[in-house]
């Protein structure tokens, strides 16, 4: 499986990562969402390197030009609700993509014990297509895997591209173990060393859904 940590390279991406982690800047939810979108647009560009391309001739007012353009049939899928700003940014790049949505949430049985519940799925056929599945925080990897398994009910994609803004090392290892390695790539803006007893990424940034849309009961 191909695994990329984009923060290891020097780029403007790291400035946006620093801002979404900053507890003071996080107080501005609009700025937080905008930075999620900025990071996601950069990540969408990076993931486009996984696609297949063919020559396309176009006619300009002064002549003709040839460019290599993607040939993949893309389904862009998102885990609700935290993934919505990320989905919007990816869609601005992959503007011809079909779209899929999966709800996944933590159902707690104690202060620290929980199961991931899937309650909603809307998706086109995935058979033979390129699935891009995005979720901003990859803490344990369980939500991503269950979301993928739910999407499989709509067909088996030929290529899987996973994108997460911040992942834990544990989640990366879980994804590597449980996804089909021969056709899966995982793109992370940053990979953090661990999760705490509540399965939140450390240092992470907190709850991305709450920071985007407000606290939930």
- At residue 109, the pLDDT reads 65
What's the average model confidence in pLDDT over 101-129?
82
* Residue 63 belongs to a domain: no
- DSSP for 99-127 reads EEEEEEEEEESSSS-EEEEEEEEE----T
Average pLDDT over residues 1-12: 97
**Helix (H) / strand (E) containing 184:** strand 184-192
- Report which DSSP code applies to 164: E
Specify whether the CB–CB gap between 111 and 170 falls below 8 A.
Answer: no
Residue 114 has pLDDT above 90, yes or no: no
165 falls within a domain: yes
Bridging pattern class, strands 130-134 and 159-168:
parallel
pLDDT at 176: 97
Does any domain span residue 130?
Answer: yes
- Two structure tokens written together for 4: 């990329």
Range of the domain at 96: 2-49+73-213
Q: What is the mean pLDDT of residues 135-148?
A: 93
Question: Does residue 57 fall inside a structural domain?
Answer: no
- Strand pairing of 53-60 and 63-70? antiparallel
Place 110 in a pLDDT band, splitting at 50, 70 and 90.
Answer: confident
Is a pLDDT exceeding 90 seen at residue 215?
A: no
Q: What percent of the chain is predicted at pLDDT more than 70?
A: 96
pLDDT by residue (tens digit) across 178-213? 999 999 999 999 999 999 998 899 999 999 989 998
* Within-domain flag for 29: yes
* CATH code: domain of residue 108: 3.40.50.2020
pTM of model > 0.85: yes
Residue 56, in any domain of the structure: no
What six digits make up the tokens of 151?
Answer: 């999407």
Antiparallel, parallel or unpaired: β 130-134 and 74-80: parallel
pLDDT of residue 107: 67
Domain assignment present for residue 62? The answer is no
Q: How many domains does the chain have?
A: 1
In a domain, 66, yes or no: no
- Cα–Cα separations (whole angstroms), residue 162 to 108, 111, 121, 155, 159: 26, 29, 18, 17, 10
> How do 184-192 and 114-122 pair as beta strands?
unpaired
């Amino acid at each position: 499986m191909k695994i990329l940590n984009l923060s290891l390279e020097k780029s403007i991406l790291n400035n946006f990562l620093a801002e979404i982690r900053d507890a003071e800047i996080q107080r501005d939810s609009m700025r937080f969402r905008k930075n999620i979108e900025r990071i996601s647009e950069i990540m969408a560009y990076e993931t486009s390197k996984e696609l297949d391309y063919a020559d396309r001739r176009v006619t300009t007012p002064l002549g003709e030009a040839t460019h290599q353009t993607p040939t993949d049939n893309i389904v862009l899928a998102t885990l609700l609700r935290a993934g919505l700003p990320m989905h919007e940014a990816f869609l601005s790049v992959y503007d011809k993509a079909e779209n899929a949505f999966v709800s996944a949430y933590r159902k707690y049985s104690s202060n620290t014990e929980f199961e991931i519940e899937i309650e909603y799925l809307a998706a086109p056929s995935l058979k033979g297509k390129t699935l891009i599945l995005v979720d901003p925080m990859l803490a344990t990897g369980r939500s991503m895997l269950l979301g993928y398994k739910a999407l499989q009910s709509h067909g088996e994609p030929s290529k899987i591209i996973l994108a997460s803004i911040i992942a834990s090392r544990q989640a990366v290892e879980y994804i590597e173990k449980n996804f089909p390695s021969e056709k899966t790539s995982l793109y992370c803006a940053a990979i953090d060393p661990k999760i705490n007893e509540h399965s939140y990424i450390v240092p992470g940034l907190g709850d991305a859904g709450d920071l985007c849309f407000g606290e939930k009961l």
